[in-house]
Amino acid sequence: MEKSLLYPELNEFRYDRKLDGLWDFKFDPKQEGNAQNWTTGLSDAVKMPVPASFNDFFTKKEEREYAGDFWYSTKFFVPKELEDKQVGIRFGAATHRATVYVNGTEIRSHEGGFLPFTADITSVAKFGTENIVAIKINNELHRDALPAGDTITLENGSKMVKPFFDFYNYSGLNRSVHLVAQPKTSVIDYSTTFDVSASHATVNYQVEIEGTADVAVKLIDEDGNEVANAQGAAGKLEVDNPKLWNVRDAHLYTIKIQLLQNGNAIDEYTDEIGLRKIEIKGHQILVNGKEVYLRGFGRHEDSIYAGRAFDLNVERKDVELMEWTGANSFRTSHYPYDEEAYRFADREGFMVIDEVPAVGFKMAAASFLGGLDASFFDGDWTDELQKKHLDQIHDMILRDKNHPSVFAWSLFNEPDTSTDSAVPYFEKVFEDTKDLDPQHRSRTFTLNEDDTFEASKCKQFPDIFLLNRYPGWYHKWGFEISDGEAGLRREMDQWQNSDIDKPMIYTEYGADTQPGLHKLPSIMWSEEYQTEVLEMFGRVFDSYDFIRGEQVWNFADFQTVEGNMRVNGNKKGIFTRDRQPKAAAFFLKNRWENID
């Protein structure tokens, strides 16, 4: 668990410089890097962009599909004026487990390929001169790790990952690397909660610091005016006539936290926050007292060439396309995204379901991808898995808790909930995470096709229900789609006739489509058929008041492992992988722009 995941900031007291660029890169299939002193630099290395996934830069299949240890290294300069500060290297993501070395000394290890961590290099840094950082990363998949899968060895000796999930295992330094420094007495975290009305808002804050200092907090509006201030590590900021953060109508305030000793500032941290109140009342989702119906997407951090690397250009385009469709929400399927994605969502007023990478916890899914068919939670790997699972939930909430866009935490994607063995695992996860979020936002998970109203043993845990359903594609497809709709309605009738009164959001539904394939009458894989599937789901959604959102799968086509059900990836995108619209994009735009 990390104790601080504040976004890096450059100001009078703090230092932040990206170390992005071309790093040395080398595979280590024999695990000989440590013995050969790769900790002090790589010889005979190739140049690899950071941030980027390494896979698609190679033309040899054994390199693109490589599984095992691999190394990155680069030189970096540490300014002499940082000698009196706490200095670190912050990695935005290293997929999936990493060990960091600076100037040949091992600094720390970390597991979890979708969340940041900082290596404190204060004791080993050379100030006023060049230093060298090396990082050993391993991208193998295991059942006791997130995301879940297996790693096998082929007869030729090559390792191969067998994911229990349907997206490609892109690997490497997928997000930016920062050289950071801050005072040794500094702000390490802060939290906010809100009491709001149209005429007044109270921001309740809590600041955590390293060391001892006085705390002063200010709130500044978008015009640069100070609207409130307070003293102390915990307190209240009172705002008259606030501009509230609303869905697709975002207003942000800057919170400025200063540490003082003898009246002099010694550290400062600023961030943007939104004042808003999110409530779940029965099957309603309310933002500032107004009911919201979610329209949007499941998404992947996936683009051509750089794989899972965060690209500000791609994110800007995606935001623009989501706005064009009339969307107001998305789920970070199936892992926490780069922090910049949330900052975009904050500014643009998107509601976000933030998901931890607990995907592949279902052996039936593994069977679909070539694994076994059994109960996942009967395995002997679950104790170790749960420790890692809770650790990553903690860090996701620690990192993202102050984003106004985040309205729910998804703690699993499509886990096996149809067996009694799942219940103790779920009980502990939900019990141990109930107090992590000061705002107590909804905690939930997605239910897949097998985890129906009748079959699921874990319906008691989520605050809202997320359903992934695929009639029209994985079953009852083609001319049978009318039976698919009838079956879907029968299940929705069961939910409606039960005593459950919670919001339901469809977080996956759709059909694979080959862009440019047209057929009259439609056939599967045609653009016409994809639209017909979405039309069918729209009819069902409009028939039940407790369905309070629709997030189609997927925003854009994305890469998967090879398979006889995939033609160069998953093609359920409403947009192609290079972000061009399919016919379904125009259907959704028309539908969503006419939903209140």
Annotation says 508 is catalytic = yes
Phi-psi region of 258 (alpha: psi -120 to 50; beta: other; left: phi over 0): beta
Instruction: Report the alpha-carbon angle 539-540-545, nearest 5.
Output: 110
Go through 53-79 and write b for each residue having 16 or more CB atoms within 10 A of its CB, e for each that does not. Answer: bbbbbeeeeeeebbbbbbbbbbebebe
Question: Are 236 and 203 a contacting pair, CB within 8 Å?
Answer: yes
Q: Give the pair of three-digit tokens for residue 569.
A: 């990836």
Q: Which one, of 510, 504, 522, lies nearest residue 584 by Cα?
A: 510
Question: For residue 438, what are the contacts with CB-CB under 8 A and spacing of at least 6?
Answer: 191, 192, 193, 206, 401
Q: 3-state class of 318 per DSSP? A: helix
Query: What are the Cα distances from residue 569, in Å, to 119, 168, 186, 511?
Result: 35, 8, 46, 13
Active site residue: 301, 355, 508, 550, which one? Answer: 508
Residue appearing with tokens 């990082």: 135
Residue 338 one-letter amino acid: D
Annotation says 384 is catalytic = no
Question: Are 350 and 330 a contacting pair, CB within 8 Å?
Answer: yes
Question: Are 215 and 265 a contacting pair, CB within 8 Å?
Answer: no
* DSSP calls for 372-438: --S-GGGSTTHHHHHHHHHHHHHHHHHHHTT-TTEEEEEEEES---SSTTHHHHHHHHHHHTTTS-T
Cα(364)–Cα(376) distance, rounded to whole angstroms? Answer: 9
Residue 201 one-letter amino acid: A
Active site residue: 414, 485, 527, 550, which one? Answer: 414
Cα(231)–Cα(217) distance, rounded to whole angstroms? Answer: 6
Cβ neighbour number for residue 477 with a 10 Å cutoff: 17
Cα(17)–Cα(399) distance, rounded to whole angstroms? Answer: 20
Catalytic center residues = 414, 508
